[in-house]
Amino acid sequence: MTKPIYILNGPNLNLLGTRQTPIYGAATLADLDARTSARAKGAGFATVFRQTNREGELVDWIQEARERASAVIVNAAAYSHTSIAILDALLAVDLPVVEVHLSNIHRRETFRHHSYVSAAADGVIVGLGAQGYELAVDAAVALVQSRAAKAP
C-alpha cells in the first residue's frame, strides 16, 4: 500500500479564511484539507493533513514522516523564515519535500524573502493561494513516482 503524503502546516494557518484575507484568501484550512485530499486520492494517494502553532510539534511530525509518508508538503508559515530545526528535520527525512506558501513571500516584507525550508525542498510553490496546495500535491506525486522509477 502506498504511504500517504504528509501535508504539514505551521502557525496561524488555523485562522485561514478569517485572517488577512486579501493576502491569504478566503479558503479555510478545512477547505485546503478537502482540496488536497481529493487531488491526492485522484492520483492514488491518501493524505495526512495537520496544523500546529508549535515548532517542536512540526519537527516531530516531519520526523514521523520519515517512516510513515511517501512525501512531505510543508507550509511552515512564519517558521519558514526562522527555523533551522525544521530545516534540519526536513534534511533528515529523505523523502520528496515540496514547500508551499499561499502568498508570494518574495513580494512581501524583506524578512519573508528568505526561507530555511527552501534549502531542503525539491520544489517551492508561492503566491498561488489555495491552488498552490493542489499543485504541491501534483508535484509531490510526480516526485514520488520519479523516485520509484529510478529505484533498483
* pLDDT at position 25: 75
Domains of the chain: 5-150 (3.40.50.9100)
Q: How many CA atoms lie within 13 A of 123 on its CB side?
A: 17
Q: Assess whether 101 carries a catalytic annotation.
A: yes
Per-residue pLDDT tens for 109-140?
Answer: 676 667 999 999 999 999 998 999 999 999 99
Rounded Cα distance between 130 and 24, Å, is 8
From 6, 101, 116, 133, active-site residue? 101
Q: Assess whether 24 carries a catalytic annotation.
A: yes
From 6, 24, 79, 116, active-site residue? 24
Per-residue pLDDT tens for 50-74?
Answer: 999 999 999 999 999 999 999 999 9
Rounded Cα distance between 109 and 105, Å, is 8
